[in-house]
Amino acid sequence: QRRDRLGGFGMEFDAHGSFNGSALSVPVTRMLPERISVIAAESLDRMSPSLRGSLEKVVDEMGTRSATAQGLGSVITTVKRMMHTDQRLYVARSDRHVNGILKVGRKKLFIRQGGSGRMAEIDPLCVLDFYVHESVQRGGIGKQLFEHMLSREAAQPHMLGYDRPSPKLIGFLRKHYNLANYEPQANNFVVFAEYFKHGSSLPAGSRPAPAPPGYSAGPSLDANDVGATRAPPRQPYADMHLQQQQQQQQQ
């Protein structure tokens, strides 16, 4: 095997519609046209059967590997579990491999604030699943994937909730964003103290809360770089695919 430009080996696919040894009706490069593509859950039920079936094989395999890596009792990321939710799934790929996934969605949480002990009801955007294939970990793919999500969601790390974050994710957030202070919660979500210090209840249209001291967005990347994470928002592929189908029907 050879290493691809975005970071080596992951779940391999080829141009003939094969992924991890399974045949696909729709090639991976058509399902995931960008190096980091976004799958919008609200579009899944409008996909053609062949597209959704092929996408299901890719997403479910990565979701299974994520659950195994985290020692979870069940798989939390599958196409069926995403349908009819507000969740978005970010998928990173290179020339021949699918390398990682990052799932986000908004959750209503009751969080005990450290110090005062008061309970607060909040509804932050939450990181619900985050997995980078073992063969490409420590290669920068996780940071690229996370930064791309932040840019697309117009979010900041200290304003997110994190569902049952693994020790690796906690270390990642400490290293890259200087986030470490949080109160353990009965619901196993982590909301960092900076969420409350820097303003958690902003009216619609307000400016984002300032980043905590030590926050770094990392180096800016050229838009032509295959791993660029600051690209302008693009329309999710599922919506583009639906529009193409509608246009063909009208012709």
Per-residue pLDDT of 180-236, as tens digits, reads: 999 999 999 999 999 988 754 433 333 333 444 443 333 322 222 223 222 333 334
pLDDT at 10: 62
- In angstroms, the Cα distances linking 68 to 12, 56, 62, 74, 157 are 19, 18, 10, 9, 25
Under 8 Å between Cβ of 133 and 11: yes
- In angstroms, the Cα distances linking 181 to 52, 107, 117, 153, 200 are 41, 21, 15, 23, 16
Residues 2, 5, 61, 66, CA torsion sign: positive
Under 8 Å between Cβ of 104 and 128: yes
Structure tokens at 224: 């032509």
pLDDT at 13: 74
What pTM was estimated for this model as a whole? Answer: 0.75
Q: How does pLDDT run along the chain (251 residues), one tens digit per residue? A: 334 433 445 678 766 667 776 777 788 888 899 999 999 988 888 888 998 998 999 999 999 999 999 999 999 999 999 998 999 999 999 888 899 999 999 999 999 987 777 899 999 999 999 999 988 888 899 999 999 999 999 999 999 999 999 999 999 999 999 999 999 999 999 999 999 887 544 333 333 334 444 433 333 222 222 232 223 333 343 444 444 444 444 44
Q: Residue 242 carries which side chain, given as an amino acid letter?
A: L
Structure tokens at 99: 């390398």
pLDDT at 170: 96
**Domains of the chain with CATH codes:** 11-199+213-250 (3.40.630.30)
CA angle (194 as vertex; 176, 187 as ends), nearest 5: 95
pLDDT at 92: 95
Residue from 62, 104, 64 nearest 85 by CA: 104
